[in-house]
């Protein structure tokens, strides 16, 4: 009852502004109802490189100059990518240097068994260096998955609150339900099962240079992690898609009924009906802007670790291909095993990002029912 | 490279010529030629080592790790050199001793690298586990 009353007040406010044909003021009035200080604080704490805050970004979108904002331009993205590219190139050089050392060791004869001992020992040493190289990426990816979960918690009250105020209570409830599913089951599954399997599999494969029994166990763990990840993602997306269609239809019906009811009131021609239309447009505009801001928040927080993991994974795979003719198969397998580990971690992180974005997606989807 | 080949050819020819005159001089010439060739090759490795040390410092990889890898490689080549020289001189027992000594040294040098690798692997798994 209270929520319906609030919706009524917001609608009346919007109609009042729309009646005076001042859409800008209507949007500004709606923006005043959204409190984004928590988002701003979170954004500043997580990443200092992006200078535009979510509240500024929301205002920028509603005034159609989002991409003119400092810190959200293509230049900022390029500035973000170039150190990553440089560091990947340095990693390739380091790995090729290690491949050269292994190639020099391949020159030792097996007659006195010195060659075999040296190659085995060098492989262990090189594995240690590669593990150290992957360590920061693994830590960053795990922390990013945790951060995505906490970002969802931050987004939920603001977006769900605004949806309820906009008369889309069902979509608001869907958002809460989807967030519970995401944080309590899917992200927990990622943190407790998929990521440990990926890391353990990678470490075992590296210890064995992709050849022995340990490597087989490692590959099995990777396959299991991939299977669980695929199943969890598919189930989540299926459930969310069904729920969002149902919630969208219910809210769409409510909004259409409201519009129809307003249109049927005989008030000075079609003045009231047009005012309600304008009010709905204002609500839709702010709702979409809020959804976009939420997506930007998720992507900007998770983009850096994902890009970094992608670059390191690419560096490892490129080095594996380049070094195989030089240092032989065992070294290349070592690099491939570590690349596979990072690939699986990257997939987990991307899945977490995609599922969080899918949680926000119904905020935009409602527009088509109105 | 050309210089190394020249040294090898001159050393080999001299050793063959000296073998007919004095056998022990031939062995000494063989050793001297091998030492020169080894030094000539090892000098080229310093470039690779320096580059690796520089990049490792950037990624906070302990320089000791790369240092021990290079040390192992050096010991292995020196051991093989010693084994080959001893075999050339007909000293099979000494060659066997050098080989065992070399392997023990390599394994002792590798111990910190093995410990580092295991520690990193365990801490990675611990980091990932809930």
Closest CA to A120 of B46, B72, B70, B100: B72
> How close, in Å, is residue B21 to chain A by CA atoms?
31
Residue of B nearest to A92 (CA): B55
Interface test with B, best of A118, A140, A214 (most B CBs within 10 A): A118
> How close, in Å, is residue B88 to chain A by CA atoms?
14
Q: Give the pLDDT confidence of B36-94 residue by residue, as tens digits.
A: 887 877 777 777 777 777 777 777 677 777 778 888 888 888 888 888 888 877 888 88
ipTM score here?
Answer: 0.72
Domain ranges across chain B? 1-47, 62-130
Q: Supply the range of the domain harboring residue A348.
A: 135-369
Residue at A310 is within a domain: yes
Residue at A119 is within a domain: no
**pTM reported for the whole predicted model:** 0.75
Closest CA to B126 of A334, A142, A232, A213: A142
Residue at A330 is within a domain: yes
A336 inside 8 A of chain B by CB:
no
Q: How many CA atoms lie within 13 A of B17 on its CB side?
A: 7
Which chain B residues are closer than 8 Å to A108 by Cβ?
76-77, 80
Residue of B nearest to A107 (CA): B77
Residue A46 has pLDDT above 70, yes or no: no
The pLDDT confidence band at residue A18, using thresholds 50, 70 and 90, is very low
B111 inside 8 A of chain A by CB:
no
Interface test with A, best of B120, B122, B123, B130 (most A CBs within 10 A): B120
Residue at A30 is within a domain: no
Which chain A residues are closer than 8 Å to B50 by Cβ?
none
Q: Give the pLDDT confidence of A146-204 residue by residue, as tens digits.
A: 888 888 888 888 888 777 777 777 777 877 888 888 877 888 888 888 888 888 888 88
A199/B127 touch (CB, cutoff 8 Å), yes or no: yes
Distances (CA, A) of A262 to A9, A13, A250, A321: 15, 15, 19, 67
Average pLDDT over residues A328-350: 88
- Return the ∠ at Cα B73 (arms to B72 and B75), rounded to 5°: 65
- Residue with structure tokens 């075992």? A204
Residue at A72 is within a domain: no
Q: How many domains does chain A have?
A: 1
> How close, in Å, is residue A105 to chain B by CA atoms?
7
d(CA A342, CA B124): 12
Residue at A150 is within a domain: yes
Taking one residue from A and the other from B, the number of pairs with CB-CB distance under 8 angstroms is 135
- Residue with structure tokens 């050392």? A101
- Residue with structure tokens 């519009």? A259
Residue at A335 is within a domain: yes
A205, B125 contact by CB (below 8 A)? no
């Amino acid at each position: 009852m209270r929520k319906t009353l609030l919706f009524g007040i917001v609608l009346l406010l919007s109609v009042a502004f729309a009646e005076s044909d001042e859409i800008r003021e209507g949007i500004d009035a709606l923006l005043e109802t959204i409190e984004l200080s928590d988002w701003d604080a979170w954004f500043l704490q997580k990443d200092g490189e992006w200078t535009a805050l979510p509240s500024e970004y929301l205002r920028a979108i509603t005034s159609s100059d989002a991409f003119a904002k400092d810190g959200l331009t293509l230049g900022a993205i390029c500035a973000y990518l170039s150190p990553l590219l440089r560091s990947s190139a340095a990693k390739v050089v380091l790995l090729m240097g290690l491949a050269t050392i292994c190639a020099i060791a391949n020159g030792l004869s097996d007659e006195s068994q010195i060659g075999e001992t040296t190659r085995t020992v060098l492989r262990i040493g090189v594995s240690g260096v590669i593990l150290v190289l992957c360590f920061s990426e693994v830590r960053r990816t795990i922390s990013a998955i945790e951060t995505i979960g906490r970002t969802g918690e931050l987004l939920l009250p603001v977006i769900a609150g605004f949806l309820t105020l906009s008369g889309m209570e069902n979509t608001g409830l869907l958002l809460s339900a989807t967030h519970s599913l995401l944080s309590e089951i899917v992200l927990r599954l990622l943190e407790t099962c998929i990521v440990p399997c990926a890391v353990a599999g990678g470490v075992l494969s590296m210890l064995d240079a992709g050849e022995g029994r340990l490597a087989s166990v490692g590959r099995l763990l990777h396959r299991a992690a991939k299977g669980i990840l695929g199943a969890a993602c598919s189930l989540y997306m299926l459930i969310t898609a069904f729920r969002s269609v149902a919630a969208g239809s219910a809210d769409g019906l409510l909004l259409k009924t409201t519009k129809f009811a307003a249109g049927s009131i005989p008030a000075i021609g079609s003045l009231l009906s047009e005012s309600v239309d304008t009010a709905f447009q204002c609500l839709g505009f702010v709702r979409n802007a809020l959804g976009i801001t939420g997506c930007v928040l998720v992507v900007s927080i998770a983009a850096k670790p994902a890009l970094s993991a992608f670059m390191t994974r690419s560096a490892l795979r490129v080095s594996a291909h380049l070094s195989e003719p030089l240092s032989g198969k065992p070294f290349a397998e070592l690099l491939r095993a570590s690349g596979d580990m990072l690939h699986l971690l990257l997939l987990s992180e991307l899945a977490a990002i995609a599922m969080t974005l899918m949680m926000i997606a119904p905020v935009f989807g409602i527009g088509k029912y109105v | 490279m050309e210089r190394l080949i020249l040294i090898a050819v001159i050393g080999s020819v001299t050793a063959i010529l000296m073998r007919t005159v004095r056998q022990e001089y031939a062995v000494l010439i063989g050793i001297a030629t091998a030492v020169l060739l080894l030094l000539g090759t090892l000098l080229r490795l310093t470039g690779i080592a320096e580059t690796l040390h520089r990049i490792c410092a950037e990624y906070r990889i302990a320089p000791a790790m790369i240092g021990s890898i290079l040390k192992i490689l050096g010991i292995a080549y020196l051991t093989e050199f010693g084994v080959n020289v001893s075999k050339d001189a007909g000293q099979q027992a000494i060659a066997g001793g050098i080989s065992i000594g070399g392997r023990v040294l390599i394994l002792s040098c590798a111990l910190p690298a093995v410990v580092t690798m295991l520690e990193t692997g365990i801490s990675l798994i611990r980091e990932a586990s809930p």
